[in-house]
Structure 1
Amino acid sequence: MADLKGINLAMQTPFNDNGSINFGVYEELIDRYVDAGVHGLVLGAGTGQHPYLTEDECNKLYEIGAKRIAARCKVICQTSALNMDEVIRRSKHAESVGADALMILPPYFEGPSEDDGLFEFYREIDAAIGIDIVGYNIPQATGISVSTDLLKRLVELKNFNYIKDSAGDLTTHQEYLRVTQGVLNGADTTTVYALMAGTKGVIWGGANYMPHEAVKLYELVTQKKYSEALELWHRMLPSLLVIWRTKYTPSVLRASQLRGYGTGKVRRPLQKLNDQEDKELQRALEPLKV
């Protein structure tokens, strides 16, 4: 079982003006994030615009990324897809190039939503691979909530050792923690409280534009320096509230660009921020300059 404690940064995918991936910037970002002290990088994350990447592009991100990371931190690859055979194919490829774990959405968009169907989906993937599976609870995007009862069944599978919880409901999050220690927080605005509640790791999109602060926050909480952690958190929170309540990925990419990380470009059909949204984001980033 891979140890996914700490800050697992849900990494952006940098694009050129024509919509192609800028692999040069991608490798530079990997080095900068690793140097910042992150404990893992999630390649092909939602923040990396996974739904708008082809399978070949994802595979190339995994290949280049795992090689560049070179075991300096954990490698988590998102291998989600709507087609079952494609999920397994993507997963096997990511495993073959050195992934430590796979992040996989439940079968969203009119797939099975009842517990038995969701369990069978993950059971089939579990039987096909040999590394950790990170399930994914993000009902606001998928329309599917992973119940506590389902989680109890899933963690009995050989490789289903983690669940990323992006719902933002701290009650459910703490119920998950009573089932398994393999809970990873994915809701930006609850990060510090999830860590204080005992969550050992996070998968964090907002860390793209503040990797040093994210790592410092984790260190302060693990050292039980809660007052200092909350002081830092209150400087991070304004921008996190903005990205969480507006256009998430475009906001993260723009914030990253403003702070010197990446190109800030989105791939269609995503749209960049309008002028008002951009100004609001820039104001919210001001506390991080202290």
Structure 2
Amino acid sequence: MADLKGINLAMQTPFNDDGTVNFQIFEELIDKYVDAGVHGLVLGAGTGQHPYLTEDECNKLYEIGAKRIGSRCNVICQTSALNMDEVIRRSRHAESIGADALMILPPYFEGPGDDDGLFAFYKEIDAAIGIDIIGYNIPQNTGISVSVELLQRLTTLRNFNWIKDSAGDLTVHQEYLSTSASVLNGCDTTTVYALMAGTKGVIWGGANYMPHEAVRLYDLVSAGKYAEALELWKRMLPSLLFIWRTHYTPSVVRAAQLRGYGTGNVRKPLAKLKAEQDRALQEALAPLLDGSTR
């Protein structure tokens, strides 16, 4: 079982103005994030605009990313797809190039939504690979909620050891923590509270624009320095509330660009923030300038 505790940064994919992937900046970003102390990088995350990347582009990103990262931190690859054969093909490829774990969405578009159907989906993937599977609970996007009962059942599979919970319901999150699964928080705005509740780590899109602060927050909570953690959290929260309530990925990559990480570009059909949204984002980022951890 992989050790995925800590800050697993859901990494952006840097694009050129024409929508092509800028692999040079991708590698530079990997170095910046690793130097900031993150414990893992999630390649092809939702924040990395996975739905708008081709399978070949994902494979190339993962190959380049895994090689660049080496053994400096964990490598997590998203291998989600709607077609079952494609999920397995992507997963096997990611495993072959050195991924430590795979993040896989449930069959989110008119697929099975019942517990038996979801279990069968992950069981087939589990039988095809030999590294950790991170299930993904994000019902606001998939329309599928992973029940506590289903999660406990999924942990009987050989490789299903983790769940990323992005729902933002702390009650369910704590119920997850009572199972034998290892839990990773995925809701930006509940991060500090999930860590205090005992979640082992996070998969965090917002960390793209504040990797140093994210690592510092984790370190403070791990050390039991909750008052200091909450003081840091006060400076982080305005921008996290903004990205969570606005267009998430365009907000994150623009915030990252403003703080020196990436190009700020998105791939169609996503669009950049409007001028008034951009101004509001910059205001929300302002508290991070006070007491910088860099």
Q: TM-score range by the shorter chain?
A: over 0.9
Letter in 2 for 1:50: H
CA distance in 2, matches of 1:198, 1:12: 27
Cα distance in 1 for residues equivalent to 2:108 and 2:30? 30
Whether the aligned pair in 2 keeps the contact of 1:181 and 1:199 (CA below 8 Å) is no
- Number of aligned residue pairs: give it: 290
1:235 aligns with 2:255: no
Does structure 2 conserve the Cα–Cα contact (< 8 Å) formed by 1:126 and 1:159? Answer: yes
Q: Give ranges in structure 1 of 5+ residues lacking alignment.
A: none
| Partner in structure 1 of residue 125 of structure 2 | 125
* Secondary structure of 2:16 counterpart: coil
Name the structure 1 match of 2:289: 289
Structure 1 counterpart SS, 2:254: helix
Q: Does the 8 Å contact 1:164/1:184 carry over to 2?
A: yes
AA of the residue aligned to 1:217: L
- Alpha-carbon shift at residue 181 of structure 1 (Å): 4.8
Show the counterpart of 2:280: 280
AA matched with 1:123: K
SS at match of 1:77: strand
Distance 2:117 2:172 in 1: 21
Q: Is the 8 A contact 2:132 2:160 kept in 1?
A: yes
Superposed, 1:198-217 pairs within 5 Å as 198-217=198-217
Provide the rounded CA distance (Å) in 2 between the counterparts of 1:68 and 1:180: 33
Contact 2:49–2:249 under 8 Å retained in 1: yes
The match for 2:173 is: 173
Partner of 1:32: 32
Q: What's the % identity of the aligned pairs?
A: 81
CA distance in 2, matches of 1:276, 1:144: 33
Deviation of 1:200 after TM superposition, in Å, equals: 1.0
Equivalent residues of 2:7, 2:203 under 8 A apart: yes
Residue 180 of structure 1, CA deviation: 2.6
2: CA distance between counterparts of 1:19 and 1:180?
42
Aligned partners of 2:44 and 2:77 also within 8 Å = yes
8 Å Cα contact 2:11/2:42 also seen in 1 = yes
Matched residues in 2 for 1:182 and 1:27: separation?
30
Give, as a single letter, the amino acid of the residue that structure 2 aligns with 1:213. Answer: E
Partner secondary structure for residue 119 of structure 1: helix
Q: Secondary structure at the match of 2:270?
A: coil
Residue 258 of structure 2 aligns with which residue? 258
Work out whether 1:104 is the aligned partner of 2:97. Answer: no
> Given that residues 185 and 194 in structure 1 are in contact (C-alpha distance below 8 angstroms), is that contact kept between their aligned partners in structure 2?
yes
Distance 1:203 1:253, change over 3 A: same
Q: Equivalent residue for 1:95?
A: 95
TM-score (norm 1): 1.00
CA distance in 2 between partners of 1:172 and 1:71 (Å): 34
Query: TM-score by structure 2 length?
Result: 0.98
Q: CA deviation at 1:51?
A: 0.1
Q: Structure 2: how far apart are the matches of 1:79 and 1:18?
A: 25
**CA-atom RMSD in angstroms:** 0.4
- Report the CA distance shift for 1:181/1:121 in structure 2 as closer, same or farther (over 3 A): closer
Q: Kindly report which structure 2 residues correspond to 1:78-93, keeping only aligned pairs within 5 A, or say none.
A: 78-93=78-93
Per-residue CA deviations over 1:158-197 (Å, capped at 9, x if unaligned) read 0000000000000000000000351000000000000000
Q: Which residue of 1 aligns with 2:6?
A: 6
The reply to whether residue 43 of structure 1 matches residue 37 of structure 2 is no
Contact 1:181 1:200 in 2 (8 A): no
Map of 2:162 onto structure 1: 162
2:130 partner amino acid: G
Which runs of structure 1 show a deviation greater than 2 angstroms over 4 or more consecutive aligned residues?
A: none
Is the CA contact 1:162–1:182 (under 8 Å) kept in the aligned structure 2? yes
**1:72 counterpart residue number:** 72
For the residues of structure 2 that align with 1:146 and 1:284, how far apart are their CA atoms? 32
Question: CA-to-partner distance for each residue in 1:54-96, whole Å, 9 max, x for gaps?
Answer: 0000000100000000110000000000000000000000000
Range that drifts further, 172-181 or 252-261? 172-181
Q: 2: CA distance between counterparts of 1:125 and 1:149?
A: 20
Distance 1:52 1:279 in 2: 27
The residue that corresponds to 1:221 in the other structure is: 221
